[in-house]
Structure 1
Amino acid sequence: MDTAKKIILELKTAGFEAYVVGGAVRDLLLGRVPHDTDVATSALPEEVKRVFERTVDTGIAHGTVLVLLDGEGIEVTTFRTEGAYTDHRRPDEVAFVRTLEEDLKRRDFTINAMAMTETMDIIDPFGGRIDLEDKRIRAVGNSSERFSEDALRMLRAIRFSGQLDFALDDETFAAIKQEASLISSISIERVKAELDKMFLHEQAARSLGYLQEAKLNEHLPNGKMFDVDWTAYEATGNSLYGWAFMLHRGGFDVSALRLYKLSNDEKQQLANTLCAASLETWNAWTYYSIGTEALEMAAKLTDRQVAIPKKKSLLPIAHKQEVAINGKDLMEWTGKKQGPWLKDWISRIERAIVFGELPNDPATIKEWFQVEFSTQDE
C-alpha cells in the first residue's frame, strides 16, 4: 500500500487525480490485507509513462500501465467508461474520461466501486460502505444492465457471497434469475475459473445454493450436475474437491466434465479420487497406486479417518522405479525377448512387493520369479 500511495502522490504532483480503487479498498475496510492494489487516475497512459521512469504496457489499449517502483508492480489505469457489450463479455469500445465517478459507475458491485485517497479518505458514490456493513452484494446502478454488459458478473456475485459470507441484494438476485441464460455466452475457461474460486471458500455452500436457486447452472454445460445437496460441503483449500464432491454426490464420472476443459492432471486426480471413494476398503495397493491428494479428497468424501502419510510411509516401496529389478533382468533370466509377458510379470512382482509378499531384494526376487515362472509354464 505504501508504494501505491507514492504513485498517487507522484501523479498528484504532476497535476493529475489518482486513487486506490476496487477490491483493495473493500479489503482494507473489511480489515483484510489486499491481494492486489490498483490505482485509477485521470492521467492518460502516455502521461503516466512520462511521470514514472519504469513502466510496462500491460494493457495500454484499455488504459492500463504497470508502474514499477520500490520493487513492486502496481497497475495504474486511466479513468474510463465503456461502450456497449454486444457479446455480453467485453466492451465494444473503451473511452477515457477525466472524472473518478464516471469510472466507478462502470464497475460491477458497490463494494468494488469505492476509491481511497493517499490519506485513506474513502470516496463512495454508490453506497458500498453501507453494503459492506450490511454484508450485502449489490450491483452498481441497474443490475440487469451490469449483467448484460458482462454475464460473468452473475457468477462473480454468487462467488462473492461465499467468499465474504454476504447475502445477495434482492434486486441483484432477481436480475441474476432474469438474465441467467446470458451465462452461456461466456467462455468455459472464465466460467471454470469462477467456479474454482467458488469451491475454495468456507461459505461455498451459500454460493452454490444461490447458483441452484437462480437456475444459473441450467445454462452451464451439463448443469444438472450442480443439483446436489451442497449443505454438507466443506472447502479444503483445493478447488478440485468441489468438483469431486459434486461428481461423487451426483453419481457422475469424470467424463461429465468434458466441456469444462480440465487439464489432464485434474482429470486424473478426479478419476483417482472417485476410484478410491468407491472402494469399500483400502489396502496397501490403494495407498501405493493413488496419490496423497486424491486419497485425502476421497477420505473426506467418504468420512474415512485415516492417516494417509503414515500409511504411505509404511509401504515397502513408494513407486515402480524403486523395484530392485527391471525388464532386462527378466529377459536375462528367461532368455525370452521383450513382449507383453514382460509388463505382466513386472506388474506381478511390483504387487507382490507392495503387499509384503516379496522382499524388494534382487536375489530374492530372482528366486521367487524363477519358481513362479516355471510353475506357470507347467
Structure 2
Amino acid sequence: MKGIMEQGAYTVLTKLQKQGYEAYLVGGCVRDKQLHRPVKDYDIATSAKPEQVLDLFERTIPTGLQHGTVTVVLGAHHYEVTTFRKEAAYEQFRRPAEVQFIDSLHEDLQRRDFTMNAMALDQHGNLIDPFGGLADMEHGLLRCVGDASERFTEDALRMLRCIRFSAEYGLEVEAATWKALCEHSLLLKHIAMERVRMELERMIAGADPVKALGLLVSSGILRETKQALKLAQLNPQHMPAAIHLLLESDARWTYLFLSIGLNAAEIEADMRVLTFSVDQIKRVYKAAAAFYMLREGLLLNQDEYVQEPALEKKLEHLWKLGALTYGKAAWLTIYNILAVEPRWMESHGITVEAGSIVLSRGKEWLDALIVDSLKQLQVGGKELLAHMNNKSPGPWVTEVLNHLLQETALGRLPNETCLLIAEAEQFVKYHNL
C-alpha cells in the first residue's frame, strides 16, 4: 500500500503523462524501494520542459530552472521534477558548463553517477534499469555508470559519495571504480570544504561509519582536500571501532577526533576548516577539553592515586570541577563514549580502573552537583559589591563568584546567601583582592 508521499509522486507522474509527457520516478527513491528501505523523498524525471511543468501544476517553486528543476508542491510534500537532460563539459570538476534538455530517459540516466542511482520506475511500478543497477546491488557491488574515470573527473564530489554509499548500503566498490577513485583523489582539491563536510557528516551519522572511515583511510583521499585537515591523520591503529554505537552526532565526532589524538584546539581548528556550525564546534571542543582536563589531572602525581579510594576521590573532584568549567553535556559525551568502549581511555594513558569508576559513578556525580552554573548561586555580583565596603567592580568579582560556585558544587559550602557572603568576605581578605 502506497503512503501519502508516494501517492503524491504517482499523482505528479499521472498528470504529466495525461498531458502527453513522459515521466518516471528516478534516483534514490527507486534505489531504496528496491532495497525495501524507507524512502525520504521522490524525484521525477520528465520530457516536459520547466515552463511546461510550471504551467501544469498549481503550486510550484522554480528551484533551478537553468538545470531544468521545478519543485511541485502537493499538500505537505515537495517533489523535484527535472527535465530529461544531458550535460556538457564540467567546470572545475564539479558543475556542468552547460545543460541540454533532451527527450530520452536513457540518456538522462546515462549521465548519473552509480548504476544503483541510474534506475527508474514508470507509473505502473515497472523497473527500468539499463545499466544493471539492480543486479549490482544484488551482488553487493557499487559501480559507476560507464567509465569511472569520466564520472569522477566530471564531478569530484562523487568520490566521497562513492565511499558514503558503499558504507551506508554495505556494498563493495567495484574494482575499476575503486581504482579510478584512488587515481583521481587529488581532484578533491577542487571541492568546497562545506561540501566535503556534508558528505563526512552523512558518513559519520550513517549505518557503518567504521567502514566509511576505513575507505577514507585506504584511499588517502582526506589528504587531498582543498584545505589541510588533521583528520587525515587517522590510521587503522586508531580507528574508533565502537563509533556506530553512539547515538549523538557530537559524541561520534568527539570520539573520532580524540581517537586520532588531536587536542581540543586542533579539533576546533579542523571543524572550522570543515565549516561546522559554531554551536557544534563549541560542544565538541568542550567535550574534548573536558577529557584532557581529566587525563592531565590523573596523570599529574599519579602515584598518589594508585589505591581505589584515593583514585575515586580524585576522579570525583576532577569530574565535578570539569562540569563547572565545560558543562554537564561535555561530561555526558565522554561518559557515553566510555559506555560503548570501556577500555577506550587506556590508549590515552588512563587506567582501566579509572575508566571503570567513571562508568559506574559518573552520572551519579553529575546528578549530585548542587549547582553547576553561576545563575544558580544565591548571590550575584550586585550583592557582592554591596557587602564589600563599596569596592569598585572589577575582575575580582568573577574570581570570587567562581570560587563560591566551586565550593558550593563540591558540597563544601551551602547555597545560602548569608553563608556565601561570609565566604566571599573571607576569600577577598585572604587573597588580598
Task: Give TM-score scaled by structure 1 length.
Answer: 0.94
| Alignment-derived partner of residue 258 in structure 2 | 248
How far residue 300 of structure 1 moved from its aligned partner, in angstroms, is 4.4
Q: Identity of counterpart residues, as a percentage?
A: 34
Q: State whether residues 299 and 306 of structure 1, in contact with CA within 8 Å, keep that contact through their aligned partners in structure 2.
A: no
- Does the CA contact (< 8 Å) of 1:277 and 1:301 recur in 2? no
Sort the Cα spacing of 1:78 and 1:307 in 2 relative to 1 into closer, same or farther, 3 A.
farther
Residue of structure 2 aligned with 1:230, choices 239, 242, 248: 239
In the alignment, structure 2 segments of 5+ residues that lack a partner are 1-5, 299-314, 343-354
Deviation at 1:48, TM superposition (A): 0.8
Q: 1:201, CA displacement in angstroms?
A: 2.1
Q: State the partner residue of 1:369.
A: 424
Distance 2:251 2:152 in 1: 29
CA contact (8 A) 2:23 2:47 kept: yes
Distance 1:292 1:135, change over 3 A: farther
Instruction: Say yes or no: does 1:191 pair with 2:196.
Output: yes
Deviation string for 1:323-363 (max 9, x for gaps)?
11111111110120101111111111111111111111112
Alpha-carbon shift at residue 165 of structure 1 (Å): 1.5
Give the secondary structure class of the aligned counterpart of 1:53: coil
Counterpart of 1:265 in structure 2 is: 279
- 2:132 pairs with 1:122: no
Cα distance, 1:275 vs. partner? 2.0
d(CA) in 2 for partners of 1:367, 1:239: 44
| Structure 1 counterpart SS, 2:113 | coil
1:72: Cα distance to partner?
1.5
In structure 2, the partner of 1:35 is: 40
Moved more, 185-194 or 163-172: 163-172
CA positional deviation for 1:313:
3.1
Q: Is the 8 A contact 2:323 2:330 kept in 1?
A: no
For 1:110, the equivalent position in structure 2 comes to 115
Instruction: Please name the residue that 2:211 is paired with.
Output: 206
Structure 1 residue 191, shift from structure 2 partner: 0.4
Partner residue, 2:29: 24
Aligned pairs (5 A) from 1:81-160: 81-160=86-165
Any conservation in 1 of the 2:324–2:406 contact (CA below 8 Å)? Answer: no
Q: Distance in 2 between matches of 1:186 and 1:169?
A: 24
Displacement of 1:242: 4.3
The alignment status of 1:342 with 2:351, answered yes or no, reads no
Query: Which amino acid in the other structure matches residue 59 of structure 2?
Result: R
The structure-2 alpha-carbon separation of the partners of 1:291 and 1:370, relative to structure 1 and needing over 3 Å to count, comes to closer
Number of residue equivalences: 378
Any conservation in 2 of the 1:80–1:94 contact (CA below 8 Å)?
yes
- What is the CA RMSD across the aligned residues, in angstroms? 2.0
SS at match of 2:81: strand
Q: Report the residue type matching 1:263 in the other structure.
A: S
Supply the AA of the counterpart residue of 1:207: A
Code of the aligned partner of 1:319 = S
Deviations 1:118-159 (A, max 9, x none): 221111111110111122111111001000011010010001
Q: Distance in 1 between matches of 2:242 and 2:401?
A: 41
* TM-score normalised to structure 2 length: 0.82
Deviates more, 1:216-225 or 1:41-50: 216-225
Q: 1:111 to 1:75 in 2, by over 3 A?
A: same
Equivalent position of 1:353 in the other structure: 408
For 1:259 and 1:147, locate their aligned partners in 2 and report how far apart those are by CA, in whole Å.
Answer: 24
- 2:250 and 2:102 map into 1 onto residues whose CA distance is 42
Per mean C-alpha deviation after superposition, the further-off stretch among 209-218 and 304-313 is: 304-313
The one-letter code sitting in structure 2 at the alignment partner of 1:332 is A
